[in-house]
Chains A and B, each alone.
Chain A
Amino acid sequence: MKSATVATGRGTVWVLPALVLVVLVVGGGVFTAALQSLGLMPLVGEPALSFDAYTALGDDLWRSLALTLSLATVSTALAAMIGLATALSALSGSRAPLVAAGLTVTVPHLIGAAAMGLLLADSGLLPRILGSTDGSWPELVGGRWWIAVVVEYAWKESAFVAIVLAGTLATRVAAFDETAATLGAGRWARLRLVTLPLVRPALIASTAIAFAYTVGSYEVARILGRPYPEPLSIMAVRLFTSIDLAARPQAAAAAMVATTLTVVVAVVAVHFLRRSAIWR
């Protein structure tokens, strides 16, 4: 149908307000950060193209990138699995977990982080209930393995994934599923051949959004993480708010590395979405 309509462009005026605002804010922000990171927009002195801001951070920059990537990958994978399980459970008649996920979605990440601290820290609710009062409680908050940070991201993002997938499943899958069942398809065959293919585009899109969100998140790792090594977001904000003005380009460099990471993930996600036949 779409190809039959010739674009008159009359609608362009209606997209302009949103388009101009997004281009100004996102374009302006990323472009300025890129210029700053390359020494082309110094707060003091002459602009000169250089990669000093990137090299000055040295190995710390790559360590931060590796940490950011690991945190986002592990927590997004958990969120995808738990979110899918929640959506499937709603499809099979038990909607209570989905309703609980709806509650979790409304909780701001910062408050989620505070809650995880009260639950998982060595003086938190879990060690109290489990009677681990002799200091043997593992370092979940501020420890080597960033457990509390990963759990918080997985908690919030699994709720997001669950809501998105449940929306898709409710509208499209039920009818196909019934047809397949009528034709004699078993439970696992229906899951593998009907439900999962139908839910795939929504799963790709929601996990990609969750991944990008995790890379861009600041407050959770700030509250539940440890000082070193630091995720890219914390590195960038620390350098940005430093009183040393020379640190500004380095803050921009860390921000650009994080931006590159999320853009690569977005491109990969769009590539896989295009390959899903039922997309659109």
Chain B
Amino acid sequence: MRLPAILRFFSLALATILPGMAVAAWEMNFQAPKTVLAQDIYDLHTLIMIIIVVIFVGVFGFMFYSIVKHRKSVGHKASHFHENTTVEVIWTVVPFLILVGMAWPATKTLLAMRDTSAPDMTIKATGYQWKWGYEYLDDDIRFYSTLATPRDQIEGAAAKNENYLLEVDNPVVVPVGKKVRVLVTANDVLHAWYVPALAVKQDAVPGFIRDTWFKAEETGVFRGQCAELCGKEHGFMPIVVKVVSEAEYRQWVAEQKAAAGAAAFDPSKTYDKAELMAKGEQIYNTHCVACHQPDGSGMPPTFPAIKGGKITTGPVAKHIDIVVNGSTKNPMMVAWGPQLSALEIAAVVTYQRNALGNKLGTVVQPSEIVAAGN
């Protein structure tokens, strides 16, 4: 009769029967908390669970006692009482008092959670379909952070990495022990910035900024995901926060600034086709592949084919225009001008016209993108 026991046996049985089950540790609680707030929430949850288990065992202790002792088959005769004001008042008032008691620590944690004042630094996280854009307001560093897991791992063609789906090309880097305020907004639809170990989750609403904060207590890499359905690649836009020492952080900032300088290229330079194709393939596989598919067949009508497509085999000016400025008719095709450099756009356009079944031979130079107004 006792169900929890049955259940436990059943899941244990499953665990031993199914191969591979014992490999990973079974995570049955929150991820290990890495901020004071995450610890508070963890403790709050533990407290509530204890109270709940006590009440649960109490109430169902009565029920199971009744099930065992008051059955017709053991000849128990039914009593006929059907009300008792005292008991009814007690079981209305007592739960109420317990609830009030439980509300108090929750209120304190909530107030701490929402206190975004006096941050040491501010990062803006912008949700895009389907990646995150970051901006360090104090240091003027900007970058995009996209899923780094290769497509063939997702499709089962290759073995999966340890951090499958939770790895990005450019992680957020923050110093340890500093209060980091995160401004969260979105570019297109709702997203949510969620890192469990740091206890931050904030919805990203297009047109509005919201703020939240965290203060990591130890260094390490903490991983999270977009937590608001944002379209088909919703499961594929992770968040990685790398918490480093103050010195390492300074160094990282310096590197980022240097890299930003180096990335500035000479627009008059002529790149050869192989170079553009290599870069283009990389860009395609990061930014285009989710919608237009690895073979360029797309998912018509929303995501038209690259392979033999009307635009990708038509006049090159129109092709560049739609990549840079987006589509006027289809909101799913966004303007990549603000996100990609002229070199990257030139490369991806060249790639699309010379790969994926297209053989137009066109080579687009970054200078042409600049000339077209980017």
Q: Is this pair of chains taken from one and the same complex?
A: no
A residues engaging B (CB < 8 A)? none
